[in-house]
A = this chain, B = another copy of it.
């Protein structure tokens, strides 16, 4: 049989078609040195109530991003079936091995989940998970919300985002949900390199796909966790799946139109920022200096931004390596 016909090795312990609240697992057999007949166990909650659209909610696509998992572990344990019209599928730890390890990529195969689509049923563990989303979960969904944050090595102004798409109806619905989410910032993204992304996989199936960047540094604050929790409820209400009232929240729309938004390091060293996230900066301004650390007495390298705008994302760790993206500048636009 051809690869596309081969079934996924993953089995679910929940019935996606049953009404009510179910907590269970996606079980992926994974034979390894410390468990010949072991498995990767990905927690999943399904809440279903009658007819209606399906929302697929994921956290920890990258394992070191925490706003999504917080919102979704909380939602999964608190949601009642009678609050729902349709179905909500919740996976707070999409790349469970990475989430358990607290790392961006999977400790099993170093797989970056968001570059592993459409996946393979006979590939790496990360590819097998991607394949299950590609062929089983995404087809069930109408609306997809995939939480991201900066993780241990980036920090972002908190925003919700969707992509510019060829299908303008699909795009409009996505931006309607972004606006409903109500993060402090909202972004219209034009993906330059969409190869292997979960986003692309969902959008190519015609799904309404919404994503976020809600902070970073490998932690969550009370504030950013609150944005994640409130935004999820807002989006589900706006999508007609969760009963309730939208919490009103203004948002500032941002645009990152081209490569000049990004500043990269070419040198290793100790990084000192001269502005903080949320500051407005002017083209040519020195945003950071890199001090050589091998000896004292040397002048730092200056890094200048290539456009004016809002300082939206930055390299997080105190040391920087050649090739690291140091700063992202976005343009404030009308929504």
Contact = CB atoms under 8 A, between A and B. Distances in A.
Interface of A: 6, 9, 21, 23, 25, 27-41, 43-45, 62, 64-66, 69-70, 73-74, 76-77, 90, 92-93, 99-100, 102-105, 110, 112, 115, 122, 150-155, 193, 195-196, 217-223, 225, 264, 266-268, 270, 272-276, 279, 291, 293-300, 315-319, 321-325
Contacts of A31: 104-105, 112, 115
A153 B35 contact: yes
A151 B41 contact: no
Contact of A296 (B62, B77, B220): B77
Number of copies: 6
Interface centre among A28, A272, A296 (most CB of B within 10 A): A296
B36 A296 contact: no
Q: 3 tightest A-B contacts by CB?
A: A39-B323, A66-B318, A23-B297
B318 A35 contact: no
Nearest to A275: B222
Contact of A74 (B34, B40, B220, B272): B272
Contacts of A321: 34-35, 38
Contact of A324 (B37, B195, B268): B37
A323 B105 contact: no
Contacts of A122: 195-196
Interface centre among A44, A122, A291 (most CB of B within 10 A): A291
A147 to B, nearest CB: 12
Contact of A268 (B65, B115, B266, B294): B294
Nearest to A193: B9
A195 B104 CA distance: 30
Interface centre among A64, A69, A291, A297 (most CB of B within 10 A): A297
